[in-house]
Structure 1
Amino acid sequence: MSPDAPSPPASLGAPAARDAWTADDGFLAELEACLRLRNTPGLGPRTWKRIFDRYPSAAEALADVRAFGAQGLCDDAVAGTLARGLSIPAARREMEAAAAKGLLPIPYFHAAYPARLRELPDPPAVLYVVGDARLLGGPSVAMVGARQCSRYGFAAAFDIASGLAASGITVVSGLAFGIDRQAHLGGLTGPGRSVAVCGTGLDLVYPDANMDVWRALAEDGAIVSEFAPGTPPQAQNFPIRNRVIAGLSLGVMVVEAASRSGSLITARLALEQGREVFALPGPVNLPTYAGCHALLSQGARLVQTADDIVAALARELGACVDAPRPAPPVRPAKAVVRAVPVARTGERARPAGPKVRPAAPPAPGRRPAPAPLPDGLSDLEAAIAGLLGDGSKRHIDALATALGAPSGPVSQALVLLEMKGLVRKWPGMYYTRDVEG
């Protein structure tokens, strides 16, 4: 990032960030304890994971720090550093900087910390968030790929991301140029929205030309980092960042990747974490697809559309619908798309324009009563099927309004009902119980 690059204004921080910094002393003590662990030399994520597994909170762990050595949690020298409080000044400086920038802190034991990240052997001790932190706990799919991408990959990334978001799935990516940028823009078109995971402090935007996407994510999605404010975009940060991209997600979609790329690192991390890996097949003469073809030959799931991913994750998505996350009303994504250079051709790829909802299709004629609903549906699925039981054709927004439910969980439930053969999807996001057409 250039030295004079614009910093994101602190006013874009979520109101929850302001509330966090005026929270009770217990929250701030817990945050400080997590930051003390992270700022202690010789103590890394795998070590503090062992500590977190042993204690109910970071603050209680540090109160018992002199027992760490005897329990085999860390060596005596590191425990002594913690006991003497040598990392307290660094932890407090970081807290002051984050508060001044309006960042929302989420320490490891907080209820808002994403449960999937706690499954990692090396989880972040603290996350900082700008935007809607609730997106971190919902159903997500990561999309990664080349910065210098082809026109084919450029268009596919947007289409697949927008399809996932329309199904209520959050698109996670890394805020880079090329595939990442298109993934975020596609995600912001639907109720699933998008989350960016950064390899810098959240007071920096890297690359700075993605400021428009950063602002759109701050407004309608979320941006997250485990790095302290002021952390520059150093090369070693991005593999660390990639494990969080994979960890937040139910699966990782590689849209376009050469045989040696950071996207393949993310795919490997996803496999190690027990996540699904998906890949888009591309032209055999493009070297930027060699990595995708290698993944497919090793057993990755071939993807052509978002529906392929939704079908593969049906069981995981079903669990998310059974316990839908709260979400604020969805606002239309801002028109922030900007063309970027396309590799090797010198041309510029033209991003897809905003989608226009078509006029309502004609109401269906008289139809027989639908078959009784099977057992095993979630409450939300049963409620949607009940609304459609009168033979009407309804838009997803009308269903969400009638149920008083957020669009994301309603969209997920509709996808599952469609896969079970209980509803039919029509153009323009309309649905009926008439599956025969």
Structure 2
Amino acid sequence: MSKVLESWLRLAAVPKLGGSAVSKIISKHPPEKLLELSDFELSSIGFKPEQLAALRQPDFSIIDRCLAWCDAPDRHILSLSDPHYPFLLKQIASAPPLLFVEGDPHILTAPQIAMVGSRHASQEGLALAREFAEALAKHDVVVTSGLALGIDGRAHRGALEGQGKTVAVLGSGLEKVYPSRHRDLAKDVKENGALVSELWPWSPPKPAFFPRRNRIISGLSTGVLVVEAALKSGSLITARLALEQGREVFALPGSIHNPNARGSNGLIKQGALLVETVEDILEQVMALAGCAINHQLDIEQAQVLQEELPFPEVLANVGNEIRCVDVLAEICDQPVHEIMMKLLELELQGLVTAVPGGYVRTRRG
């Protein structure tokens, strides 16, 4: 298992260190370099004394359990530095440092629409959720929801009935599927998409986990469709988070006599896009989804290209400014004669060029 992943797990095990704090820390130092810093340096980037102690002496049972969990088939742990971490989710203010995934992690970078609504939905609401999810699936749009009773569960089922893909974001660890009556549904989701959680796999569901889960549901998606929602509901929290994240919010209008439609009708009053057909959704969000996919492909292609280039550790330290051989040898911790041989090979391939005082990278490099 990658030492980088172990470093991320060690960082994630530090108590009371949220996504925003982690993003600030890793913007200055990658996790695998943190232990090389002094206590003073760690304190200066935000570690409190008890957090510093937890980083130095972590609970290795947590790390070992995660690594053992990840060894099983179809299980993955994606860190913020992983090239497969979903691009849209990475853009939100408090992106989860780690995602635990069961199923196909590549699904998380596909175009997604979140569908949310009441746990006590009307029969009409449930039917509409299934109908729209099935239609979205037939247009190759992944349907993302929270595996809850009511609209969530019907949305997942609709996507599966449409022979499409679906993603379920849990408010518990992936070993503690909640609600328990959706265990069979969770298995179907895993086989035709992915189960996702930011929590340790063995974490039980807690009320505080579900609002945090909602930001992931909206963060993964290009838009959120609210099917039925009361005035005070988690679905409205998801809609608010979607707006804060720059996502589109859609709502199905409901009867004025249905209390579970007052929240979704209120969203329409506030500017959410009223939806009557699946085309109302597709024409609004596919352009944004295309941009996200292209950016993700650019990242993955750049990584593949970097891996294919010779002597990447040397090439990575030659830029547009002149870099002399002695400095390269020191940075790469390699003898000067080896650096010279590698630079010659890179020059023959047109990736660097010799100039007075050292080497610079070519456009091809």
Same fold (TM over 0.5): yes
- Are 2:112 and 1:140 equivalent residues in the alignment? yes
**Against the structure 1 CA distance between its residues 100 and 140, is the aligned structure 2 distance closer, same or farther, given a 3 Å change threshold?**
closer
Q: Which residue of 2 is the match for residue 224 of structure 1?
A: 196
Is the Cα–Cα contact under 8 Å of residues 110 and 293 in structure 2 kept in the other structure?
A: no
- The Cα of 1:323 is off from its aligned counterpart by 7.3
Q: Pick the aligned partner of 1:310 from 282, 298, 303.
A: 282
SS in 1 for 2:227: strand
Q: Pick the aligned partner of 1:43 from 17, 24, 36.
A: 17
- Are 2:32 and 1:59 equivalent residues in the alignment? yes
Q: Which residue of 2 is the match for residue 194 of structure 1?
A: 166
Is the Cα–Cα contact under 8 Å of residues 20 and 95 in structure 2 kept in the other structure?
A: yes
Separation (CA, whole Å) in 1 of partners of 2:192 and 2:253: 31
Question: Superposed, which structure 2 residues align to 1:19-418 within 5 Å?
Answer: 23=1, 27=2, 29-55=3-29, 57-64=30-37, 66=39, 67-70=41-44, 73-78=45-50, 80-99=52-71, 103-190=75-162, 192-319=164-291
Is the Cα–Cα contact under 8 Å of residues 43 and 78 in structure 1 kept in the other structure?
A: no
CA RMSD, 1 decimal? 2.1
- The Cα of 1:174 is off from its aligned counterpart by 0.4
Q: In the comparison of the two structures, how many residue pairs are matched?
A: 296
Separation (CA, whole Å) in 2 of partners of 1:227 and 1:143: 22
Separation (CA, whole Å) in 1 of partners of 2:270 and 2:129: 22
Separation (CA, whole Å) in 1 of partners of 2:286 and 2:65: 45
**Matching residue's letter, 2:101:** V
Separation (CA, whole Å) in 2 of partners of 1:177 and 1:280: 19
Separation (CA, whole Å) in 1 of partners of 2:81 and 2:296: 21
**Matching residue's letter, 2:166:** S
- The Cα of 1:82 is off from its aligned counterpart by 4.5
Is the Cα–Cα contact under 8 Å of residues 65 and 82 in structure 1 kept in the other structure?
A: no
Is the Cα–Cα contact under 8 Å of residues 10 and 55 in structure 2 kept in the other structure?
A: no
- The Cα of 1:274 is off from its aligned counterpart by 0.9
SS in 2 for 1:188: helix
- The Cα of 1:311 is off from its aligned counterpart by 1.1
Larger radius of gyration: 2
Q: Deviations over 1:145-170 (max 9, x none)?
A: 01111011111101111111111111
Is the Cα–Cα contact under 8 Å of residues 168 and 190 in structure 1 kept in the other structure?
A: no
Separation (CA, whole Å) in 1 of partners of 2:27 and 2:158: 38
**Greater shift after overlay, 114-123 or 89-98?**
89-98
**Against the structure 1 CA distance between its residues 286 and 76, is the aligned structure 2 distance closer, same or farther, given a 3 Å change threshold?**
closer
**Matching residue's letter, 2:284:** A
Separation (CA, whole Å) in 1 of partners of 2:31 and 2:58: 16
**Against the structure 1 CA distance between its residues 322 and 109, is the aligned structure 2 distance closer, same or farther, given a 3 Å change threshold?**
closer
Normalised to the residue count of structure 2, the TM-score between the two structures is: 0.76
SS in 2 for 1:313: helix
SS in 2 for 1:277: strand
Separation (CA, whole Å) in 1 of partners of 2:211 and 2:60: 27
Separation (CA, whole Å) in 2 of partners of 1:43 and 1:286: 42
- The Cα of 1:41 is off from its aligned counterpart by 2.0
**Against the structure 1 CA distance between its residues 76 and 211, is the aligned structure 2 distance closer, same or farther, given a 3 Å change threshold?**
closer
Separation (CA, whole Å) in 2 of partners of 1:65 and 1:123: 27
Is the Cα–Cα contact under 8 Å of residues 158 and 186 in structure 1 kept in the other structure?
A: yes
- The Cα of 1:187 is off from its aligned counterpart by 1.5
Is the Cα–Cα contact under 8 Å of residues 101 and 197 in structure 2 kept in the other structure?
A: yes
SS in 2 for 1:143: strand
Is the Cα–Cα contact under 8 Å of residues 200 and 225 in structure 1 kept in the other structure?
A: yes
**Against the structure 1 CA distance between its residues 265 and 62, is the aligned structure 2 distance closer, same or farther, given a 3 Å change threshold?**
farther
**Against the structure 1 CA distance between its residues 320 and 40, is the aligned structure 2 distance closer, same or farther, given a 3 Å change threshold?**
closer
- The Cα of 1:118 is off from its aligned counterpart by 1.3
SS in 2 for 1:256: coil
SS in 2 for 1:252: strand
SS in 1 for 2:113: strand
Q: Deviations over 1:178-214 (max 9, x none)?
A: 1001111111234641000001111122111112211
Is the Cα–Cα contact under 8 Å of residues 131 and 223 in structure 1 kept in the other structure?
A: yes
Percent same amino acid among aligned pairs?
A: 40
Separation (CA, whole Å) in 2 of partners of 1:48 and 1:157: 36
Separation (CA, whole Å) in 1 of partners of 2:28 and 2:226: 36
**Against the structure 1 CA distance between its residues 324 and 44, is the aligned structure 2 distance closer, same or farther, given a 3 Å change threshold?**
closer
